[in-house]
Amino acid sequence: MTAKYYRRFSLAFFVCLVISVFLSYGRARETLPIHVVNQRTGWAKKKSCEACHIEADHFALTGHAHSMSPANSEASWELLGQLAKFPGAVVDNVRIERRDDQIYAVHTNEGTSQEIRLDWCFGSGLHARTWLGILGDSWGATDQVEFRWTWYHQLEGFDLTPGQSEKNLPGYFGHLGLLYDHPKTRRCFACHATRLPIDEGRIDYSQIIPGVQCQRCHGPQKEHVDTDGYIIEHSWSGIDHVESVNRCAQCHRRAEEMENEDIVPENKFLARFQPIGLTHSACFNSEKMTCIICHDPHLPLGQQKLDGIWQCIQCHDGTPEKHGLCGAGQKKNCISCHMPKVTGDVPVAFTDHWIRVRTDTKPGETDGSNNE
């Protein structure tokens, strides 16, 4: 090989290497599909984060961290015990029983009983809690039965689980809930768990890391822990505002997952899915606008100052080259007018993240909803 040829070969190899690294670097900053995120390897123990990062201590108090728990936990059992006082369940002859540290929902009709074991509780209780049971199907995979009744913080009691019919459906589970197939089951668990190991298409429930923990967003950190922090995971570095919001939208819903005709300001149902409203706001045209420009993801909502004006004046500072101040003359609380709490199809009030000049509220007013 001549020196000239060798130099050309070396240059070509170097260019290919740079391109490969660049593409890999870019891919690391793309939102992974939901079914891939929590099936990766290299997980560190949860306590490893708390040993060095004070953020982990704060995060342990968030709703995300408690978004999934065993149904037989004391907090879950205490709420389910209230079902006996709920008229809907009484009329429907549905009751909760505890046997050998397992929780069962039982329906009785004319001396015949149907029952499901409740295995998991979804939701932190800040808004709601929904229970479900796991069933093995004929293929060895697992389906889920979503319990018919959900506990709502706003009601301090039970009502229908979102998406379930007001009339009981025929079949074994008709009075107890809805049966979902394995793909839907995986989707539900993927958003409420940090690790979701799957073997030959089957969820290994014994190895689940429940709740949205540190590694759910930052990725498995065993190498980081094993090297005393020398190896650092950089997947949040250098991403744009669209990608940043898409990370949250993995579970909080992206606009592409809804029909275009449903994405209209009048649809209060959209308030449940904050990224959709946010990405349709004029404010989102700012390259700075992301979820975390206003929210500290490591702190509980109750410890964040979210009802003032500081978020808005990051951009709306009154200078001509940016944006003017409030046309209604308000100087204390932008949120109550431009992002009020609304209640849609379920008894939960969500802050509407479709930021806009509204005609359905007056300065200082909301629609009367409250999720405190």
Q: Does residue 362 surpass a pLDDT of 90? A: no
Percent of the chain topping pLDDT 90: 55
Task: Look at residue 256 in the predicted model and tell me its pLDDT.
Answer: 92
Residue 162 corresponds to which tokens in the numbers above?
Answer: 């979102």
Task: Look at residue 142 in the predicted model and tell me its pLDDT.
Answer: 82
Task: Look at residue 9 in the predicted model and tell me its pLDDT.
Answer: 42
Q: What is the pLDDT of residues 89-120, one digit of tens each?
A: 999 999 999 999 999 999 998 888 999 999 99
Q: What is the pLDDT of residues 4-62, one digit of tens each?
A: 544 444 444 443 433 333 333 334 456 777 667 788 889 999 889 998 999 999 999 99
Mean pLDDT of 117-138: 92
Query: What is the 3-class SS of the chain, one letter each residue?
Result: CCHHHHHHHHHHHHHHHHHHHHHHHHHCCCCCCHHHHCCCCCCCCHHHHHHHCHHHHHHCCCCHHHCEEECCCHHHHHHHHHHHHCHHHHHCCEEEEEECCEEEEEEEECCEEEEEEECEEECCCCCEEEEEEEEECCCCCEEEEEECEEEECCCCEEEECCCCCCCCCCCCCCCCEEEECHHHHHHHHHHHEEECCEECCEECHHHCEECCCHHHHHCCCHHHHHCCCCCCCCCCCCCCHHHHHHHHHHHHCCHHHCCHHHCCCCCHHHHHCHHHHHHCCHHHHCCCCCHHHCCCCCCCHHHCCCCCCCCHHHCCCCCCCCCCCCCCCCCCCCHHHHCCEEECCCCCEEECCCCCCCCCCCCCCCCCCCCC
- Of 5-9, 22-26, 194-198, 267-271, least confident by mean pLDDT is 22-26
Mean pLDDT of 167-181: 89
Q: What is the pLDDT of residues 329-340, one digit of tens each?
A: 777 888 888 999
Task: Look at residue 24 in the predicted model and tell me its pLDDT.
Answer: 38
Contacts of 367 (CB under 8 A, 6+ apart): 340, 341, 342, 343, 360, 361
Q: Does residue 366 surpass a pLDDT of 60? A: no
- Of 36-40, 185-189, 227-231, least confident by mean pLDDT is 36-40
Residue 250 corresponds to which tokens in the numbers above?
Answer: 């993995």
Q: Does residue 367 surpass a pLDDT of 80? A: no
Q: What is the pLDDT of residues 70-94, one digit of tens each?
A: 999 999 999 999 999 999 999 999 9
Task: Look at residue 25 in the predicted model and tell me its pLDDT.
Answer: 38
Mean pLDDT, all residues of the chain: 84
Rg (CA), the chain: 24
Parallel/antiparallel/unpaired status of strands 177-180 and 142-147: antiparallel
Mean pLDDT of 284-308: 87
**Which residue reads 């929210």 in tokens?**
295
Q: What confidence category does residue 321 fall into, taking pLDDT thresholds of 50, 70 and 90?
A: low
Question: Shortest CA distance to 225 belongs to which of 62, 7, 25, 45?
Answer: 45
Measure the CA–CA gap between 88 and 91, rounded to whole angstroms.
Answer: 5
